[in-house]
Amino acid sequence: MFKCPACSAPLEFQGGTIQKCDFCGGSVIVPSEVFGRAAAAKASPPPREAAPVGPIGMLAQGVENVRRLISEGKKLEAIRVFRETFGVSLAQAKAAVEAMERGHGVNVSDMRALGSHGKSRMPRRVKALLAVIFVVIFVLPIAFSFLPMLFFLIVPIAGETISSRPDTEKVGFSSDGRESDGSVEELLRFGGKGTGAGKFTDNRVVAVDAAGKIYSADYTGGRIQVFDAEGNFLTQWNVAGLTSISDLAAGRDGTVYIADGRGVRSFNGHTGKELRSIKLSTPRGVHVGADGRIYIAARNSIVITDKDLKIQKDLNKAAEDASARLGFEKIAVDGNGNIYAFVRPEGDLVKFSREGKFLTRIKTDVRSPQDIAIDPSGNIYLTNVSTIHVFNGDGKPLKTIKTNQAFGIDINDKGDIFAAVRPEVVKLRIDLE
């Protein structure tokens, strides 16, 4: 795992030299250490990986050449090759090479090549390559997403039209959250951009306890804010040494559980006093079940603890059983104790029994899920930044709700939905009938 140099989001290595950030959409040069090597400036020449065919592969090959030159101590040559590969200025190339020397990732999606007079000096070949990459990564997926709609409109059979997803209804609500068709009702919205009490800059997690208190926090900074059931600010507390928050959950008694890169910690939800902690390898999700136990998506395993974070069960072969090559992301548990998690980069749901037996893997067609929650009826909700997808317990699509910047999600006992729609928190009620 490594951080995106543009937005600091945690990224799972997907096997290539250059990959797309699922959070900000930027193109990132993967740090050398992720490949299991020492820092690029000190390492012996790394073996070249097989680059994919096409423009992305050509840029990846250029990056590999830069890495090789860095490892050989030929910094000036590395800068020259980086400039030729990406068509950037000398200062940009120097900064990028020095970042690679330190073993950091490099954001190449927003580079602008400027000469001494401010005019673009990007080679035509690189411009063409970047244009093709833009089309492949951004335009084609959007175009293909409209094909089912066109198919639905123009292909009649026996007097009826055919839809590729007949059981999915897409519902949108406007920027102020008010839905006109009545199936999505916004009950509450609070927060907003800022650093003062009740304000956020990048909140990606949200949780609600049995008393109705709502907890949300920015991705970095370690400030946890507490609100009453009406969205009024109550208090805030800070977690010392917290670099970023992977997930947040609240117990019925108001205990707050926070997952970060080093493990899971529990806190008194009102005072912020740390109660317990457990060290785990890069946990990505934490959930409090109806039975009071804590369920943790710990990369390649699922760990179940009591409320004091004492391990009761470690499903250390869960990822292998579910063929989750990059492990698990967020996690949720239904009322029957069935465990659900999603895996990247596929976005598939995996389901385990309450005893930890792997049951099934469900294809969702959700490209970049951010969080998962389950309502009292057993329906599954996946946030996907611009949408919230709803499935029944067997993975059948029920509804897709349009939203904006939706990351974290939690659901209370009444079925009300709380979403961290940065920089705000929104409370929704959705009619699935």
- Phi, psi at 132, each rounded to 5°: -65, -40
More confident residue, 373 or 155: 373
Residue 38 has pLDDT above 70, yes or no: no
Q: Does residue 135 sit in helix, strand or coil?
A: helix
425 closest CA partner among 207, 195, 185, 175: 207
CA–chain centroid gap for 294, Å, is 21
pLDDT exceeds 70 at position 219: yes
Q: What is the pLDDT of residues 284-339, one digit of tens each?
A: 999 999 999 999 998 789 999 999 999 999 999 999 999 988 888 899 999 999 99
User: Taking 80 as the threshold, does the pLDDT of residue 185 lie above it?
Assistant: yes
Q: If we measure between CA atoms, which residue out of 397, 388, 395 comes closest to residue 430?
A: 388
Percent of the chain with pLDDT over 70: 75
Angle at 339 between CA 335 and CA 342, to 5 degrees: 130
Is residue 309 within 8 A of residue 324, CB to CB? The reply is no
pLDDT on residue 87: 80
Q: Regarding predicted confidence, which is higher, 403 or 128?
A: 403
Nearest-angstrom CA–CA distance, 103 and 38: 8
User: What confidence tier does 240 reach under pLDDT thresholds 50, 70, 90?
Assistant: confident
What's the whole-number average pLDDT of the chain?
A: 80
CA 318 – CA 170 distance, rounded (Å)? 33
- Read off the amino acid at residue 18: I
User: What is the pLDDT, as a whole number, of residue 133?
Assistant: 65
Which pLDDT belongs to residue 204? 95
pLDDT digits (tens, 9 = 90+) for 130-177: 666 666 565 566 555 555 444 434 433 333 322 333 344 444 453 344
Please give the pLDDT value at position 59.
Answer: 76
Q: Output the CA angle 162-163-166, nearest 5 degrees.
A: 120
**Pick the residue with more confidence: 182 or 101?**
101
Residue-level length of the chain:
433
Q: Which two tokens stand for residue 67?
A: 């890495």
Contact 154, 162 (CB under 8 A): no
Rg of the Cα atoms in the chain: 23
37/409: higher pLDDT: 409
For residues 237 and 243, what is the distance between their CA atoms, to the nearest angstrom?
15
Question: Which of 39-43, 179-183, 399-403 has the lowest average pLDDT?
Answer: 39-43
Asked if 335 contacts 377 with a C-beta cutoff of 8 angstroms, the reply is: no
* Calpha distance 242→235 (Å, rounded): 19
Give the integer Cα–Cα distance in Å for 417 and 428: 5
Per-residue pLDDT tens for 40-91? 334 444 444 444 445 556 677 788 888 889 888 899 999 999 888 888 888 8
Cα(369)–Cα(386) distance, integer angstroms: 10
- Residue 235: both structure tokens together: 């208090």
CA–CA separation, 302 and 222 (whole Å): 25
Rounded to whole angstroms, how far apart are CA atoms 163 and 152? 5
Name the H helices within 269-322. 318-321
Mean pLDDT for the stretch of residues 31-42 = 54
Cis peptide before 45 (omega within 30 of 0): no
Which pLDDT score, from 0 to 100, does residue 125 have?
57
Residue 299 burial class via C-beta count within 10 angstroms: exposed 0-12, middle 13-18, buried 19 and up: buried
Q: What are the φ and ψ backbone dihedral angles of 241, each rounded to 5 degrees?
A: 75, 15
Residue 277 token pair: 């902690």
| Confidence check: pLDDT of 179 > 60 | no
CB 423 within 8 A of CB 225: no
Q: How confident is the model at residue 346 (pLDDT cuts 50, 70, 90)?
A: confident
pLDDT > 90? residue 263: yes
Least confident of 241-245, 254-258, 274-278, 396-400: 241-245
